[in-house]
């Protein structure tokens, strides 16, 4: 009996160690478990596209590769079966990659599919990558071109993270499409660097040699819009962010307690000032800090709603920022869900003695790659063009938290990370910000147990972005 208890306890300890070590060292995912890939394709998809997918999956080191053909309406059921199959595996996984391939416009609700796989216990703390592929006649290049470029880069640069690889591929594909309507976009809630090359994740990596990096030698401008009314602690975020922007060389404009209409007017005025600026403008940053509506709207000081997508598109019309990075920081709720996370809660004493890993936000560790922008649903199509980076303080449908004594975890952690390493790759720094935010337990005013928060990063950047040389 004692041997049985010891054996069971040691098995639990091993499982917990696997969970604790899912990010490996220095914020990089440890991919020692099996890598599994699934292709869900509709009957209309060309066999050549699926063949290219298979080749790329093999190059990226996915040992187990499955393909299932089904109508788009049946994708959810097929993914549910895939999830149950992984949970029945009996051990931790390394990484999962799901390719969703269908004619343009048919994948209208990919979030249902993403959240279904997020329920998989075997993938707790492991990266889950979704590749959404569609073809548009006369529009985007064939999916095979994107996949071939990604596979070639991964072979040549195995130490690069997947976010670095994708940014480089975005740059190359934009050049090949001659600046037309083609615009790949990624959505990330990853908590660490994801390196799919066959190298140890803790081995020192060489300095990346990107084909291009944004030139930030011109003027930089920042616009901070913050509703202070009924948002205790907002003053701490405003001060920290304003000081950071000024330290990074941004000419900073602050407006407090804007109404919904003033949000639109201030961004429009900001755009006009940039267009009339004498000399080149190299980068713009807009911070939107307010209460949020149930569908992700921003609420002005007057309680009226404004869509953040409308503000993004307003700045996207700025001629002075054509081909330049446009950064949006959104500290606002995107719904009312309070996430308790995934992981053990009420543990027996011997599990607590084994130092069980903390809960992980339910929607962390996800990377979505929308290869054809026109294949995205309307609610998730904010960056309609290239060179836009949006950072949300919460994932879709969730609450964003703020402490009245110190401000929000998102803004305060962002400022701390950027002050520590202002010259780092901005996407990698944001991933580190998310890792730190995900580790925090939040006790809100209306809940008795810890809650979890997770950022969501949306990027159509086509070059490496470093805010300080």
| Strand ranges for 35-178 from DSSP E | 35-41, 64-69, 95-101, 128-133
Contact 167, 427 (CB under 8 A): yes
The b/e string for 390-420 (b: 16+ C-beta within 10 A; e otherwise) is bbbbbbbbbbbbbbeeebbbbbbbbbebbee
Residue 154 bears catalytic tag? no
What is the rounded CA–CA span in Å between residue 453 and residue 398? 8
Catalytic residue among 157, 291, 438, 454: 291
Burial pattern 259-291, b for ≥16 Cβ within 10 A else e, equals bbebbbebbeebbebbeeeeeebbbbbbbbbbb
Active-site pick, 183, 333, 398, 438: 333
Q: Which residue has the tokens 């997770």?
A: 454
Helices (H), ranges, 60-156: 75-87, 110-118, 143-156
Catalytic status, residue 291: yes
Secondary structure of 356-400 in HEC code, one letter for each residue: CCCCECCCCCEEEEECCHHHCCHHHCCCCCCCEEEEECCCCCECC
> Per-residue b/e over 307-333, b at no fewer than 16 CB within 10 Å?
bbbebbbbbbebebbeebbbbbbbbbb
Q: Tell me which residues are annotated as active site.
A: 291, 333
């Amino acid at each position: 009996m004692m041997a049985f208890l010891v054996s069971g306890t040691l098995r639990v300890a091993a499982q917990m160690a696997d969970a604790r070590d899912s990010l490996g060292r220095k914020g990089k995912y440890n991919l020692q478990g099996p890598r599994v890939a699934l292709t869900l394709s509709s009957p209309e998809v060309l066999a050549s596209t699926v063949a290219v997918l298979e080749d790329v999956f093999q190059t990226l080191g996915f040992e187990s590769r499955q393909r299932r053909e089904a109508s788009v309406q049946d994708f959810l059921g097929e993914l549910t079966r895939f999830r149950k199959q992984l949970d029945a595996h009996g051990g931790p996984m390394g990484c999962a990659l799901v390719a969703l391939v269908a004619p343009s416009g048919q994948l209208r609700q990919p979030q249902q599919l993403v959240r279904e796989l997020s329920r998989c216990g075997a993938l707790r703390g492991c990266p889950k990558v979704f590749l959404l592929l569609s073809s548009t006649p006369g529009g985007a290049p064939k999916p095979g071109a994107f996949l071939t470029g990604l596979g070639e880069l991964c072979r040549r640069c195995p130490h690069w993270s997947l976010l670095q690889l994708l940014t480089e591929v975005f740059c190359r594909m934009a050049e090949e499409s001659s600046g037309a309507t083609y615009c790949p976009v990624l959505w990330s809630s990853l908590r660490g660097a994801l390196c799919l090359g066959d190298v140890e994740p803790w081995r020192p990596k060489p300095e990346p040699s990107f084909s291009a990096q944004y030139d930030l030698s011109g003027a930089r401008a920042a616009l901070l819009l913050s509703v202070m009314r009924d948002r205790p602690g907002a003053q701490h975020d405003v001060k920290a962010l304003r000081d950071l922007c000024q330290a990074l060389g941004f000419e900073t404009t602050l407006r407090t307690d804007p109404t919904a209409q003033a949000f639109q007017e201030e961004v429009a005025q900001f755009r006009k000032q940039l267009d009339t600026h004498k000399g080149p403008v190299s980068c713009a940053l807009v911070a939107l800090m307010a209460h949020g509506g149930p569908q992700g709207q921003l609420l002005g000081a007057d309680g009226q709603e404004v869509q953040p997508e409308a503000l993004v598109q307003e700045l996207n019309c700025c001629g002075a920022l054509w081909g330049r990075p446009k950064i949006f920081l959104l500290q606002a709720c995107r719904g009312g869900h309070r996430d308790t996370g995934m992981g053990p809660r009420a543990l027996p004493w011997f599990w607590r003695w084994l130092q069980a890993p903390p809960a992980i936000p339910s929607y962390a560790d996800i990377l979505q790659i929308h290869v054809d922008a026109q294949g995205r649903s309307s609610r998730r199509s904010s960056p309609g063009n290239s060179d836009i980076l949006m950072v949300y303080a919460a994932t879709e449908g969730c609450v964003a938290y703020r402490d009245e004594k110190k401000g929000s975890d998102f803004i305060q952690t962002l400022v701390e990370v950027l002050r520590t390493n202002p010259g780092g790759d901005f996407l990698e720094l944001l991933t580190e910000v998310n890792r730190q935010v995900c580790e925090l337990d939040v006790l809100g005013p209306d809940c008795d147990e810890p809650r979890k928060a997770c950022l969501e990063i949306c990027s159509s950047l086509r070059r490496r972005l470093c805010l300080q040389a």
